[in-house]
Amino acid sequence: MAMTRAAHDVDRRAAENEMNRGGSVMKTIGLGLGAAALAAVMSLGTASGEPYRGHGHLLMTADELQWGDIASMEAPARIAIIEGDLSREEPFTFRLDLPAGYRIKPHVHPAYERVTVISGELHFAHGEVFDQGATTALPAGGVAIMAPGEPMFGYTEVDTVIQLHGTGPWGIEYINPDDDPRN
């Protein structure tokens, strides 16, 4: 399933708009998804255009990732879904590309979240109020694991790529609703 970059971006925005019309307290990604929207979002992760669903092996290089906007985070953050359907109770893996100076506002997730810093450095902390001085610098190879419902925040000083994995459904709820770009 080949897509041009423009078609890919349009399909991704349409799918994310559909996903983010959810309505649950956690705004869990995927509520109310139509089959077409789900196919568009899930085709973004792998070079073949098909999401990895646990059959056989997935082998790919970083330059094969397909990046797109993410409605639940302020631009210019980008996402590349590697495996899984983020709206379902199944394993997922995705990467976030965060530019230098990016702030991750205080938020919680409905399930365990495991983060590995792939490149750059993520400054990360536990808490409901953004406090740059409370963060721990996690360089490439650094890891963070957060329990469901535990508030967290962070920022970058350099361009940073992080990989997140866990078991869905994945979602994000900002402590301050005004911080949510979907509002």
Task: Give residue-wise pLDDT tens across range 93-116.
Answer: 999 999 999 999 999 999 999 999
Query: How large is the C-alpha radius of gyration of the chain?
Result: 16
Task: Identify any residues that bridge with 174 across adjacent strands, giving them in sequence order.
Answer: 107
Number of domains the chain is built from? 1
Q: Is the pTM of this model over 0.85?
A: no
Domain that holds residue 169: 5-179
Average pLDDT over residues 26-53: 42
List, for residues 4-15, the tens digit of each pLDDT value. 333 334 344 434
String of b and e for 77-92 (b: at least 16 CB within 10 Å)? bbbbbbbbbbbbeeeb
Q: What is the CATH number of the domain that holds 43?
A: 2.60.120.10
The residue ranking higher by pLDDT, 177 or 17, is 177
